Amino acid sequence: MTVGWVLMSERELDRVEVLSQVSQGRMTAVTAVTAANVLGLSRRQVHRLLKRFESEGAASIRHKARGRPSTRRIDPGLREYAVSLVREQFADFGPTL
């Protein structure tokens, strides 16, 4: 098994910390309400995250879309066309306009 770096946000790290406490028994599953309050999630969501955390590890808590391009991005060709139109019509257009 290779161990690599996993980039996580502060929120994801907080989730891993609380879920590991629940997993280790320092915070019982019955008091998942406490974990839910700490994380600002529902009890059901905490149980779902805990199940995934225990089966796949800490990396499973990371957002799955990280590193992927947005599905709402503008096509680069269309963007370049729009920029060229603006440059033709408004030569003095600047970021402060």
DSSP 75: P
Identify whether 31 is part of a domain. Answer: yes
Read off the pLDDT of each residue in 24-40 and give the average, rounded to a whole number: 75
Read off the pLDDT of each residue in 51-74 and give the average, rounded to a whole number: 84
Identify whether 43 is part of a domain. Answer: yes
Number of domains in the chain: 1
Q: Which residue segment(s) compose the domain that 56 sits in?
A: 10-68
Global pTM reads 0.57
Read off the pLDDT of each residue in 8-34 and give the average, rounded to a whole number: 77
Read off the pLDDT of each residue in 87-94 and give the average, rounded to a whole number: 80
Identify whether 27 is part of a domain. Answer: yes
- Computed on alpha carbons and rounded to an integer, the radius of gyration of the chain in Å comes to 22
| pLDDT for position 14 | 82
Identify whether 44 is part of a domain. Answer: yes
- Cβ contacts of 47 within 8 Å, gap of 6 or more: 29, 32
Identify whether 83 is part of a domain. Answer: no
Identify whether 55 is part of a domain. Answer: yes
Q: Give the separation between CA 88 and CA 86, rounded to whole angstroms.
A: 5
Identify whether 75 is part of a domain. Answer: no
